[in-house]
Chain A
Amino acid sequence: MGRIPTVELSRYLLTGQLNRRGCLRARLPRISASAAFGPSPQHRRFTSHVETTTSRPSDHATTAPATPVTPLRKQLKEQAKALKASGKKKKKNADSQTVPGWELTVGIEIHAQLNTARKLFSPAVTSFNDLPNSHVALFDLAMPGSQPLFQPESLIPAVRAALALGCAIQPVSRFDRKHYFHWDQPAGYQITQYYHPFARDGRVVLHARDGIAPEDGDRVEIGIRQVQMEQDTAKTTAQPGEVQWLDFNRVGLPLIEIITLPQIRHPATAAALVRKVQMLLGAVDACVLGMEAGGLRADVNVSVRRTEDVAAGKPLGTRTEIKNLSSFKAVEDAIIAERDRQIDVLEAGGIVEGETRGWSLGSTETRRLRGKEDEVDYRYMPDPDLGPVVIGEGLVSHLASSMGILPDAEINELVERYGLSSKDAMSLMMLDDGARIQYFYNVLDALEERLGLGGDMESDQRHALLAANWCLHELGKLTELSSDLGMTPDGECHVPSRDLAAILSHLHRKEITAKVAKELLWGVFRREVATGGVTQAIDAGNLWFKGLSEQEYAELADMVVHGEHKVVREFLRFKQGKLKAYPQGKLMFLVGKMMRTGPEERMDPASAERVMKERIESIYLLALDENE
C-alpha cells in the first residue's frame, strides 16, 4: 500500500541512505506498480516487507508516539450529561442537514502536524511526551541574535500531503511572519506562508461511504484553495491560580494548514471532509496523530443565505469563524448550531456580524470570542531572514510516484476483492491511524503462507474475509480503547500478527472451533500463550477439534428427532407443496437441540445442519410418506 515511512523516505532523499535489511528490488516495483496501475495483483505482497527499519532514537519519536489516552469518551459522557441537564432532546443529525429556504456555505481550515524528525526552523528534535522543555533550540526561544534554519526534510511529508490532496506544488514559495502577542509564541510572530503557499488548487472527492449528507448524493468534490507550512506554538498547561506552565518542546514543530474553498453545503459533509483529509494524510504518512488526540485541529467558516438570494446570484452571507474544533463530531455540531443561530438572527431582522466564535463539545450553541473590532491585525510581512523555498520537479515527481495507493482505491479493493462491507473497510482503514490495516496485511500474508495459498491469485478469498473480520471485530473486543492494543505504525500489536495468523489458519481449516479460536486470542493477548506457541497451546490443552463422525452425527440426529413428529411433518408439508417456504426455522430448532444434546466441542453446526437435513430427506420423510 505504498506506506514508506516518511522518516525512511527523508533519509533516502536527503542522505541517500536506505536503512533496510530487506530486498530493495521488492520495494521498487511496489512503488511503481501501485502508483501507476492502481490496485495491482502484486502490490499487497510487498507491504509485508515494509517494517524492517532499524529504529534510531529520533525515529522512535516520530514513528511510535506514545498515544495519550483519548479524552473523547469522557467528553461524550459530559456531552450526554449536558444534554440531559438542558432538557433538550438530541436532534437527529440526519434531519438537520438542511433548513428549508436557506443555503449553508462552509469553508474549513485544517491544521495537522507534519511527521518529521526535527522542527521547522531549528534542528531540535520533535517529541511528544518527553520531559518538558528538553528539546528547545535557541531560535525556538527567540533568543536575541538566533536565526531560523529551514529544515528541508519538512518538505517530504508536506509535499506528500499536498499531493494526496491533489494540489499543484508551487516551484517557489515563501515564508511570512504573522504577528500577535501570546505567551505560547516567544518571537511575537508565527512564521507561516501567507502570500506564497507551497501548494494550491487541490481537491478532495467525498463518496457516500465517507459519510456525506444524503443531500450531496453519491459523490461530492471539495476544492482546496491552498496548503501552507507553519510553526506550532508552545504547549500551555493551566495550573491553579492564574499560573500557566509552558512546554517549549512543541514550539516550532512543523504544521500544515489546509484551506478549503467555501464549497461545503451540509454539516455532515464538513465532518466527512475532515475525516477524509485525516485519512489521506495518514495514508501517505505525512502527519502524526489522529484528530481525537489533538494532532489535527479545524477552524470552520460558516455563512448562510436565503435560497431566493442564491437564485438571484447574490453574494455569500457574512461569515463567522469557529475556532479550534478538535473532533469530527464537533465540526458537524458546531456548524449546525452556528447555522441555526445565524438563521435565527436573520429571520429576526438582525445582521450577522463577522466575528470569531468558540464551541465546546457537548454544548448546543457557539459563543462569541471576539468581534471584528477586536480582530487582530496580523501585519503579515515576508520574513527577511528566510529565502524562498524552491521545490524541484524531480522531488515532486519522485514523491508522487512513491506515494502508493490512496485510500479510495484501497477501500474499493477491500470491498471488491475480499468482500468486506464498505463500513468495515473504512473502519479497518481508519483505526489506529492507519496501523490496523497494516496489521491486517501482516496477518493475511502470514496466513497465506501457512495455508500455502498464492495470495491475490486465489479466486477464493474467504480466508481474507475471515482475517479482516478478526482484525476488526474480534481484536476490537479485547480492549475498551483500541490504543490499549499497542498497535505500532508498522502493523504489530500485543497480539503478534503471526500468532493471529496461526489461530486463523487452524480455524479456517476447521481444525479448531471458533470458540477455541477466541479463547486462544485472549490467551495470546494476556501472554498466557507464548509468542509462536499457538499450535503447542492447542496440543497442550487438547483443544483440537475432533469432529463427530458421520455415523455419530446421524445417531445424534435420530435421537433428537425422536418424539418430534409434529416438526417433521412440516417438512413433509413443504415437500407436498402445502408449504411455500422451506421450514428453515424448524430445521435450525432441530440442529440447536442436536448441539445441546451432543458434545459441543466436537461438533460443527454446519455439519450438524447438513446431516440433519439429509436424515430428514432420506429417512424420516420417506417413513412418514409410507405411514400416510
Chain B
Amino acid sequence: MSARGRPQGLHLRPVCFSRQQQRRLLNHFISKAPEQTGQPIPFRFTLAVKDNIATTTATVNSSPTSASSDPPQPTPALPTTCASHFLSTYRSPFEATIVSQLRARGARLVGKTNLDEFGMGSHSTHSAFGAVSQPQSQSDPPGNNLLQLSAGGSSGGSAVAVATGEADVALGTDTGGSVRLPAAYCGVVGFKPSYGMLSRYGVVPYANSLDTVGLLASGVGRIRELIVGGGGGGQGGEGHGLWEEWDARDPTSLSVAARRRCARRREGYSPQEKERGVLKRVKFGIPLEYNIEELDPRIRDAWAKAAKTLQDEFGARVVPVSLPSTRHALSAYYVIAPAEASSNLAKYDGIRYGTRDTDSGSDATGGVLYAASRGKGFGEEVKRRILLGSYTLSSKAMDNYFIQAQRVRRLVRRDFNRVFALDNPLHERETFDLTDLDESIVMEDKWGPEEVDFLLCPTAPTLAPRLEDIMNQTPVDAYMNDVFTVPASLAGLPAISIPVPLSETATDDAEKSRTAGLQLIGQYWDDARLLAVAEAVLQTLRSTTSTR
C-alpha cells in the first residue's frame, strides 16, 4: 500500500494462487482492525466501512451483554483516508453516526475499504492506495494474469469485502451510483436509501445534495433487517429500524415527524403488515429510455428475462414507461456533483489536518494560497472534478451550467413523480402534459398511462470491464457507467441493485458464473417495500434459473 500518487492504479499486479494471497491482492482494504485476542467478544455481524466514513478509537464491543468484569478492549483508531494522499494519516476525532448505529446493532468493524479518492470514480482505480480488483478475476483463463476485472466504484472495496465473505455488511456511499455499480459488478446486493434517511454525519462529503450512505450485503435480508427493523421481517426481532432514527447533527436528516408522516403513506414499515403476496400486487415499469444502444446484449437479455419471469410466474404487471429527461440526467449530474465537490474540497489545505507540502517554502506559492499542498495532495480525477466544478460555478458559466443542471434535475424528479403511482411526500402534486410522453407508451385511459410501483432496469450498461481496458478509457467513457444510476440519485429516490444470473445460453463456465446487476427504483420513502420486493424478486429469479 502506498500513500503517494495515483499511478499505482496502473500497475496491475499478477494474479496469484492461494486464496489468502488472492484476497490481499484485491487491495480492497486500506486498513484492517487488529485480530481479536483473548476472549472473543460477541457480535452479530461483521462490518466493513468505506474509508470516507469517519471511525475512531472505539471499543470493539459496546453491547451491554459483555460482563462488567471484562473491560471492553480499545482498538487503535483506524484512519479515515478517503483514499486520498491528503488524508493518508488522518484520524477522525469523532465517529460517523451510521457506524455508531450499526455497532449498537451488533456490528464488529473489520476494516476500512478502498475507494476512488473522495468517492470520485466508477472503478475504484483512482485511489492513493492503488486500484481495487474483484474476486471474479480468479475465473480468468489461466496464464493470462492481467485479466483482472473492475470492482466498480467508488465503493469497490466494500463490494469486494462482501463478495469475499470478509464482511457480512459493508458501508458504502452512493452519490451517483457508487454503491449500486460495484454491487452489480461484484455480484452482491447494493442499496441506496432515500435521501435524508440515513445520517451523513461523519461521512466526508463529495456532493452533499446527492450523497447517501449505502449498504452492501450478499443478500437483501440483512439490509432489510437493518433498515426496517426486527418487525419488518428480519430475524433480529430487537431494535428499531434505521429508517426511524433522526440525527440532530445532520441538517439533511429527516425529522422524526417527517419520517412518520412519510411512512404513514407507505407500506412495509409497521410490523403487522403481511408481506405475503407482495409481488403479485406490484406493477413494474420498464423505462424505455434505458434501452440504450451501448447496453450489453447479455444484460439486455437478463433484463428481458427477468421482466418475463415476474409477469409469468407471479402475474406481476410489467408495463413500459417513459422517463424523457433521462438522457440529460448524466450531464446534469456531472455539472452538479463536481460543482459541490469543488466547494466541499476547498477545506483541504493541509493546515489543520492532513498532509501539508513542506517542501515548497510558502503556503502561497506563486501568490496562490495552499497551491502546492493542494497540487500534491489530490489525485488526477479529483483535480479534474474540482476544475470542472470551479468552472461551472464561475460567474460567467453559472447560468449555462449550474442553473441549467438544477432545472434538469427538477425535470428528472418530475419524470419519476409522473410514472409512480405513489406521490412524492416532499413535493406538491404536479399535473403533467401527456404530449411530453413517448408515442410508444400505451395509455391506460384518457388520464394517461399506467402508473407503476417500481422501475426495473439494469444497474450498469456493461458487465465488469477489465482493469486493463479501463486504463485506456477517457474520463467521459468512465462517466458513462453511471447513466442508469444517476437519475435516482438526482431525485433522491431509493434504489437497489440485485445480482441476477446471465442467460443460460452462455457458452463457457466463466460466463455462467457471472451475474448482471438489475436495479429496482422506488418512490421516495418507499424503501421498506422496495427491500421486500427486491428480496422476493431475487429469490424468484434465482429459483427459476436453478430449476431449469
Q: List residues of chain B with CB within 8 A of the CB of A384.
A: 207-209, 340
Q: List residues of chain B with CB within 8 A of the CB of A183.
A: 351, 363, 369
Interface residues of B in 190-244 (CB under 8 A from A): 200-205, 207-209
Contact of A598 with B by CB under 8 A = no
Interface residues of A in 176-214 (CB under 8 A from B): 177, 179, 181-183, 186-189
Measured CB to CB, the closest approach of chain A to B487, in angstroms, equals: 18
Measured CB to CB, the closest approach of chain A to B173, in angstroms, equals: 11
**Is A381 within 8 A of B340, CB to CB?**
yes
User: A146 to B200, alpha carbons, bound, how many Å?
Assistant: 9
Q: Mark B86-120, 1 if CB is under 8 A from A, else 0.
A: 01001011101000000000000000000000000
User: A183 to B402, alpha carbons, bound, how many Å?
Assistant: 28
Give the contact stretch, choosing among A31-39, A135-143, A396-404.
Answer: A135-143
Q: List residues of chain B with CB within 8 A of the CB of A179.
A: 343, 346, 393
Contact of A147 with B by CB under 8 A = yes
B interface, over-half SS: loop
Q: List residues of chain B with CB within 8 A of the CB of A330.
A: none
Among B53, B346, B370, the residue within 8 A (CB) of A189 is: B346
Q: List residues of chain A with CB within 8 A of the CB of B87.
A: 144
Q: List residues of chain A with CB within 8 A of the CB of B149.
A: none
Contact of B495 with A by CB under 8 A = no
**Is B251 within 8 A of A147, CB to CB?**
yes
Among A144, A186, A387, the residue within 8 A (CB) of B80 is: A144
Q: Mark A78-116, 1 if CB is under 8 A from B, else 0.
A: 000000000000000000000000000000000000000
User: A349 to B395, alpha carbons, bound, how many Å?
Assistant: 32
Interface size on B, residues (CB 8 A): 45
**Is B353 within 8 A of A381, CB to CB?**
no
Interface residues of B in 375-401 (CB under 8 A from A): 390, 393-395, 398
Q: Mark A369-398, 1 if CB is under 8 A from B, else 0.
A: 000000001011100111100000000000
**Is B352 within 8 A of A145, CB to CB?**
no
Interface residues of A in 124-177 (CB under 8 A from B): 138, 141-150, 177
Q: List residues of chain B with CB within 8 A of the CB of A189.
A: 343, 346
User: A189 to B370, alpha carbons, bound, how many Å?
Assistant: 14
**Is B54 within 8 A of A145, CB to CB?**
yes
Contact of B339 with A by CB under 8 A = yes
User: A141 to B92, alpha carbons, bound, how many Å?
Assistant: 13
**Is B251 within 8 A of A377, CB to CB?**
no
Q: List residues of chain B with CB within 8 A of the CB of A141.
A: 352
Q: List residues of chain A with CB within 8 A of the CB of B351.
A: 183, 186
Measured CB to CB, the closest approach of chain A to B508, in angstroms, equals: 45
User: A377 to B93, alpha carbons, bound, how many Å?
Assistant: 33
**Is A386 within 8 A of B251, CB to CB?**
yes
User: A363 to B517, alpha carbons, bound, how many Å?
Assistant: 71
**Is A149 within 8 A of B251, CB to CB?**
yes
Q: List residues of chain A with CB within 8 A of the CB of B368.
A: 181
Contact of B249 with A by CB under 8 A = yes
Q: List residues of chain A with CB within 8 A of the CB of B395.
A: 377, 379
User: A379 to B393, alpha carbons, bound, how many Å?
Assistant: 5
**Is A148 within 8 A of B251, CB to CB?**
yes
**Is B339 within 8 A of A381, CB to CB?**
yes
Closest to B203 in A: A145
Measured CB to CB, the closest approach of chain B to A165, in angstroms, equals: 28
Contact of B349 with A by CB under 8 A = yes
**Is B94 within 8 A of A138, CB to CB?**
yes
Q: Mark A227-246, 1 if CB is under 8 A from B, else 0.
A: 00000000000000000000
**Is B204 within 8 A of A145, CB to CB?**
yes
Among A145, A177, A186, A380, the residue within 8 A (CB) of B205 is: A145
**Is A145 within 8 A of B349, CB to CB?**
no
Q: List residues of chain B with CB within 8 A of the CB of A177.
A: 343
**Is B369 within 8 A of A181, CB to CB?**
yes
Q: List residues of chain A with CB within 8 A of the CB of B63.
A: none
Interface size on A, residues (CB 8 A): 28
Residue from B340, B347, B368, B390 having most chain A Cβ neighbours under 10 A: B347
**Is A142 within 8 A of B347, CB to CB?**
yes
Measured CB to CB, the closest approach of chain B to A144, in angstroms, equals: 4
**Is B346 within 8 A of A143, CB to CB?**
no
**Is A150 within 8 A of B251, CB to CB?**
yes
Contact of B164 with A by CB under 8 A = no
Measured CB to CB, the closest approach of chain B to A293, in angstroms, equals: 29
Closest to A182 in B: B369
Q: List residues of chain A with CB within 8 A of the CB of B93.
A: 138, 143
Residue from A142, A143, A145, A380 having most chain B Cβ neighbours under 10 A: A145
Q: Mark B518-538, 1 if CB is under 8 A from A, else 0.
A: 000000000000000000000
**Is A145 within 8 A of B370, CB to CB?**
no
Given known contacts A143-B93, A149-B249, A181 and B54 CB-to-CB distance under 8 angstroms: no
Among A147, A186, A386, the residue within 8 A (CB) of B347 is: A186
Q: List residues of chain A with CB within 8 A of the CB of B80.
A: 144-145
Given known contacts A183-B351, A187-B346, A385-B208, A145 and B390 CB-to-CB distance under 8 angstroms: no
User: A147 to B346, alpha carbons, bound, how many Å?
Assistant: 15
Measured CB to CB, the closest approach of chain A to B545, in angstroms, equals: 42
Interface residues of A in 346-377 (CB under 8 A from B): 377
Measured CB to CB, the closest approach of chain B to A387, in angstroms, equals: 7
**Is A188 within 8 A of B346, CB to CB?**
yes
Given known contacts A186-B352, A379-B393, A145 and B340 CB-to-CB distance under 8 angstroms: no
Measured CB to CB, the closest approach of chain A to B102, in angstroms, equals: 16
Q: List residues of chain A with CB within 8 A of the CB of B369.
A: 181-183
Measured CB to CB, the closest approach of chain B to A34, in angstroms, equals: 38
Contact of B252 with A by CB under 8 A = yes
Contact of B301 with A by CB under 8 A = no
**Is B92 within 8 A of A379, CB to CB?**
no
Measured CB to CB, the closest approach of chain A to B448, in angstroms, equals: 32
Q: List residues of chain A with CB within 8 A of the CB of B345.
A: 188
Q: List residues of chain B with CB within 8 A of the CB of A144.
A: 54, 80, 82, 87, 90, 92, 204, 347, 353
Contact of B250 with A by CB under 8 A = yes
User: A186 to B202, alpha carbons, bound, how many Å?
Assistant: 17
Q: Mark B332-366, 1 if CB is under 8 A from A, else 0.
A: 00000001101101110101110000000001000
Q: List residues of chain B with CB within 8 A of the CB of A385.
A: 205, 208, 251-252
**Is A181 within 8 A of B251, CB to CB?**
no
Measured CB to CB, the closest approach of chain A to B27, in angstroms, equals: 23
Q: List residues of chain B with CB within 8 A of the CB of A187.
A: 346-347
Q: List residues of chain A with CB within 8 A of the CB of B92.
A: 143-145
**Is B349 within 8 A of A181, CB to CB?**
yes
Measured CB to CB, the closest approach of chain A to B335, in angstroms, equals: 12
User: A182 to B347, alpha carbons, bound, how many Å?
Assistant: 10
User: A507 to B388, alpha carbons, bound, how many Å?
Assistant: 77
User: A265 to B184, alpha carbons, bound, how many Å?
Assistant: 68
User: A141 to B352, alpha carbons, bound, how many Å?
Assistant: 8
User: A146 to B345, alpha carbons, bound, how many Å?
Assistant: 13
User: A146 to B93, alpha carbons, bound, how many Å?
Assistant: 11
Among A143, A147, A150, A377, the residue within 8 A (CB) of B394 is: A377
Among B200, B208, B370, B402, the residue within 8 A (CB) of A181 is: B370
User: A182 to B346, alpha carbons, bound, how many Å?
Assistant: 11
Closest to B346 in A: A188
Closest to B84 in A: A144
Residue from B80, B87, B369 having most chain A Cβ neighbours under 10 A: B369
User: A566 to B53, alpha carbons, bound, how many Å?
Assistant: 103
User: A149 to B200, alpha carbons, bound, how many Å?
Assistant: 13
A-B contact pairs, 18 of them (CB 8 A): A138-B94, A144-B92, A145-B54, A145-B202, A147-B250, A149-B248, A181-B369, A187-B346, A188-B345, A189-B343, A189-B346, A377-B394, A380-B393, A381-B343, A384-B207, A384-B340, A385-B208, A387-B251
In addition to A138-B94, A145-B53, 18 A-B residue pairs with Cβ atoms within 8 Å of each other are: A138-B93, A143-B93, A143-B94, A144-B80, A144-B90, A145-B205, A147-B250, A147-B252, A148-B251, A149-B248, A177-B343, A186-B351, A186-B352, A188-B347, A379-B342, A379-B393, A379-B394, A381-B393
**In the complex, the 10 A-B pairs of residues with the closest C-beta atoms, listed nearest first:** A188-B346, A384-B209, A379-B393, A384-B208, A142-B347, A145-B202, A181-B369, A144-B204, A145-B54, A187-B347
Q: Contact residues of A with B, CB < 8 Å?
A: 138, 141-150, 177, 179, 181-183, 186-189, 377, 379-381, 384-387
